Amino acid sequence: MSCPPDLEQVKKGQGYVQSMLGALSFITPAGSSTGYDILSIGLGAATLPLLLHDLMPQSRQTVVELSGDVVQASRCFGATTAGFDVQEAEGRHFLDAAQEGSYDAILIDAFDGDDKVPSCLTTGNFFQMAHSKLKGGGVLVMNAHSGVTLHNDLQDLIPAAQHNFPRVLVGEAPTLANKILVATTAGVSQSKAPLATGTFAQWLEAAKFYQPPTAGEPRTDDGVGCHLGRS
């Protein structure tokens, strides 16, 4: 059974998906002719990875999903035949086991039963580990709630990101209250003007990424009761 989403409609209406993909423009060097190595944590209805595959078919994409039921349902959306690898696993465990310097981009669109970014993905320990799994010039992109109607994930994420990445930005998700956090392994001097063309350039501009004020101390694994392996 196949019921792929209407990608053209997604391109018009899913603000957080647009902004997350627009943030890939911060990868340096941009415009790789051989594509990128991308890890997505969180599958859902597979909208983000399917659209990414549609726009960047030359890239190598792995999608990690905790729920076996969601993985099974992904067959309905054509995810298992779309040309990317779907793995049933806990996102942080999967990333922790990856080789250092494995990915050009890590995309995280994951929320727990309380509709918060899972606590083990909000700590300084996690961001330190995630940084080590990115290639030089790579980016970490996270979908987050802004506190307008749900928990303010940014208050947890920004300190952890700023303590482990040279450049941290926050962007809008047009039509939604979500915010998109971007952490780059390249500092401002190495990435003054992100290169983007066409659709990605439009989405990057609409997200209006900006540098947030310096935040306080990050959460720790011990502080949130996260007792996973550490890098």
How much is the pLDDT for 5?
59
Parse the chain into domains and list their residue ranges: 7-191
At residue 188, the 3 state secondary structure works out as: helix
CA 177 from centre of chain: 17
Sheet hosting strand 134-144, strand order edge to edge: 85-88, 60-65, 37-41, 103-108, 134-144, 179-184, 167-172
What average pLDDT does range 163-179 have in this prediction?
Answer: 94
What average pLDDT does range 183-189 have in this prediction?
Answer: 81
Mean residue pLDDT across the chain: 85
In the predicted structure, residue 194 carries a pLDDT above the cut 70:
no
- Identify the CATH number of the domain defined by range 7-191: 3.40.50.150
The pTM of the whole model exceeds 0.95? no
Provide the sign of the torsion angle of the four alpha carbons 7, 9, 15, 19, taken in this order.
positive
In the predicted structure, residue 1 carries a pLDDT above the cut 90:
no
The DSSP code for 77 is G
Q: Which residue has the higher pLDDT, 131 or 147?
A: 131
What average pLDDT does range 32-37 have in this prediction?
Answer: 80
- Residue % of the chain over a pLDDT of 70: 82
Least confident of 24-38, 95-109, 159-173: 24-38
